[in-house]
């Protein structure tokens, strides 16, 4: 089932983006790429803000993440597309063969990135740990590719480099632990996004009671359900 949905997203986005021609497809590709990076780096703080200031029940703490992620992503794409239409009101002429290759090529890349972002959004959604053929550790696209983990790796790479703010990197999924607990010189970044959210989804479906299969990052404990008056457990804040 998950493969059918991903293929529908891939082909649907490719077709509609390619219809805009090379120039429109290039603007849409930039909008999807940039908006996706912004959404990934800032959806957790936004979700924590929503949980702390609006509905903060156990149910809503597990809903705000996917809402914040998709809100930032869709809002960013819409805003950049509108800006693109204002900045490029006319289209440049492109020869026949180059026109076809560029519009379908850009459309396919846009479709794959969009599919990757939406697949990543499933990690933070209030759903079971595994559903419709989706597994956090598996290759969820046709059994041989993992677009979600490819997108997570790209997001982390960019956050360590070009998205530095004031010379300081806000590393996405950048928890640091020493490879050898007794040797601090072996400190390194350990990516844990898929498994953290897999454990979080399992806690959600069991009402906050972790089963024996739930795996959390080193040095953390299974958090109990948080009441309306408790601290928000949205995103990584609940681990």
In this predicted model, what pLDDT tens digit does every residue of 111-142 receive, in sequence order? 999 999 999 999 999 998 888 888 888 888 88
Half-sphere exposure of 77 (CA within 13 A, CB side): 19
Residue 124: both structure tokens together = 């933070």
Residue 8 belongs to a domain: yes
**Are 111 and 11 within 8 A, CB to CB?**
yes
Residue 88 belongs to a domain: yes
DSSP string across 13-74: HHHHHHTTHHHHHHHHHHHHHHHHHHHHHHHHHHHHHHHHHS--SHHHHTTHHHHHHHHHHH
**Are 167 and 226 within 8 A, CB to CB?**
no
21: exposed, middle or buried (C-beta count within 10 Å: 0-12, 13-18, 19+)?
A: middle
Q: Within 10 Å of residue 157's Cβ, how many Cβ atoms?
A: 13
Residue 66 belongs to a domain: yes
Domain of 49 in residue numbering reads as 2-172
Residue 57 belongs to a domain: yes
Residue 75 belongs to a domain: yes
Angstrom distance (rounded) from CA 20 to CA 91: 10
In this predicted model, what pLDDT tens digit does every residue of 157-203 receive, in sequence order? 887 765 555 555 567 776 777 777 777 777 776 778 888 898 888 88
* Domain count along the chain: 1
Tell me the pTM. 0.79
């Amino acid at each position: 089932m998950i493969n059918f949905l991903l293929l529908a997203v891939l082909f649907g986005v490719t077709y509609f983006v390619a219809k805009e021609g090379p120039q429109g497809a290039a603007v849409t590709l930039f909008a999807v790429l940039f908006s996706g990076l912004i959404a990934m780096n800032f959806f957790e703080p936004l979700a924590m803000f929503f949980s702390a200031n609006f509905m903060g029940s156990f149910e809503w703490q597990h809903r705000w993440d996917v809402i914040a992620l998709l809100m930032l992503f869709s809002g960013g794409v819409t805003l950049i597309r509108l800006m693109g239409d204002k900045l490029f009101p006319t289209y440049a002429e492109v020869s026949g063969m180059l026109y076809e290759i560029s519009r379908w090529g850009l459309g396919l890349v846009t479709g794959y990135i969009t599919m990757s972002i939406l697949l990543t959004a499933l990690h933070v959604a209030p759903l079971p740990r595994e559903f419709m053929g989706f597994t956090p550790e598996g290759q969820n696209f046709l059994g041989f590719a993992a677009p979600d983990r490819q997108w997570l790796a790209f997001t982390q790479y960019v956050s360590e480099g070009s998205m530095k703010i004031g010379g300081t990197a806000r590393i996405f999924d950048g928890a640091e632990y020493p490879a050898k607990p007794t040797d601090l010189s072996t400190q390194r970044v350990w990516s844990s996004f898929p498994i953290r959210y897999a454990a979080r989804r399992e806690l959600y479906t069991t009402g906050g009671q972790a089963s024996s299969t739930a795996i959390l990052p080193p040095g953390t404990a299974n958090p109990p359900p948080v009441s309306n008056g408790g601290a928000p457990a949205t995103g990584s804040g609940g681990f």
